[in-house]
Structure 1
Amino acid sequence: MSKKIGILVGSLRKDSYNKIVAKQFAELLPDGFEAKFIQIDDLPFYNEDLEVEGSVPEAWTRFRKDVSDVDGLFFFSPEYNRSVPAALKNALDVGSRPMGSSVWGGKPGLVVTVSPGGPGGFGANHALRQSLVFLDVPTLQQPEAYIGGIMNLVDNDGHIADGTVEFFQTITDKYIEFFNKLVK
């Protein structure tokens, strides 16, 4: 039985670099692992007033089930104002509620930030990691995945430069080692 890796992409833009990178990582998963892209763009903002039987938004229920059904997590995010986009933070909040029913706990995570700028989304990477610590998502520490200058690494057809794909493979391999230590 394949292990499922849930992929959450913080950028909602149709042609986002983060989506291109996420698809590449999905292709690099080894046999025995499969990628499941988890939709976050339709989640209403978390509001505890909606957390009432019969009123819970259908998108929240679907999202929570999708995250519950995976064994590990890949997060891809741009950096907005030194942090993660609102859609990704909202997904973390929706998945962590109601209190005591978080869908995140114990699932090994990988954080990849992708940016046109040189720092490669450093601020977003660390802001996301801070939330994941609280949500009990053990996260791969090395190699770090700050992908800066992305527009120079992707051609007009969305193909990523070979050397960069090799780096992505190294990250993926390390994640799989990390995952296998935590998930039996």
Structure 2
Amino acid sequence: MAEILTLVGSLRTESVNSKFAQVAAASAPEGAAVTTFEGLEEIPFYNEDLDVEGKVPAKAAELRAAVAAADGLLLVTPEYNGTMPAVINNAIDWISRPFGASSATGTKAAVIGTSAGQYGGVWAHDDVRKSLKVAGAEVVEDATLAIGASYSRFAEVEPQDDAEVVEGIAKVVAALAGTTGATAPAELAEAAAR
């Protein structure tokens, strides 16, 4: 079973990126499971003084363990001020340490998301990919999805009802799971096509 861990860069209750993560879970091909890490906002900003045995905050230790156990990482994020949100940057800081022992080393990773701008957050996604590579992850370069104009596009349509979004997320999840299938499960695809 391929375990894919999702980290979401928006903390809003009704975040569209959180809904993308839900579509990712529903799009998991047979033999794969997608789960979202909850509580990124509870992790303090990375501080080397905290990163010593016996002092590592519980939620940061939980994140490291979850990333180490995952076969794939899916970061789902908007773009804030031309780059990644602080919560994603902080998560990568924690998983990249201690130096030389990143919990992301060798883990397949991909970045997707939606943002208000016309390009869907590609600057943020590029920055996240770069940071993940430095942290030791194996970024799947062609597993991408950036959907622009999120406020208008999803004003009346939920992501799970948008065929392009469902299909795009399914392709990324399949790439992370190491499967050749590039389509969403039939029920999800049929619902989105309506």
Same fold (TM over 0.5): yes
What is the match of residue 25 of structure 1? 24
Asked if the contact 2:159/2:166 (under 8 Å) is kept, the reply is no
What is the match of residue 50 of structure 1? 50
Asked if 1:107 is matched to 2:110, the reply is: no
Asked if the contact 1:76/1:113 (under 8 Å) is kept, the reply is yes
Distance in 1 separating the partners of 2:164 and 2:146: 15
- Indicate how the Cα distance of structure 1 residues 59 and 167 shifts in structure 2: closer, same or farther if over 3 A, else same: closer
What is the match of residue 182 of structure 1? none
- Of all paired residues, the percent bearing the same amino acid is 33
- 1:51-105 deviation per Cα after TM superposition (whole angstroms, max 9, x unaligned): 2222221111111111111111100011011111111100001111122221011
- Indicate how the Cα distance of structure 1 residues 168 and 153 shifts in structure 2: closer, same or farther if over 3 A, else same: farther
Asked if the contact 1:113/1:124 (under 8 Å) is kept, the reply is no
- 1:151-182 deviation per Cα after TM superposition (whole angstroms, max 9, x unaligned): 31463666431233223323333444479xxx
Structure-2-length-normalised TM-score: 0.83
The code of the aligned residue for 2:76 comes to F
CA RMSD, Structure 1 to Structure 2 (Å): 2.0
Q: What secondary structure does 1:53 align onto? A: coil
The code of the aligned residue for 1:71 comes to D
Distance in 2 separating the partners of 1:80 and 1:16: 14
Q: What secondary structure does 1:100 align onto? A: coil
Q: Tell me, which stretches of 5 or more residues in structure 2 are unaligned?
A: 181-194
What is the match of residue 15 of structure 1? 14
Q: Tell me, which stretches of 5 or more residues in structure 1 are unaligned?
A: 180-184
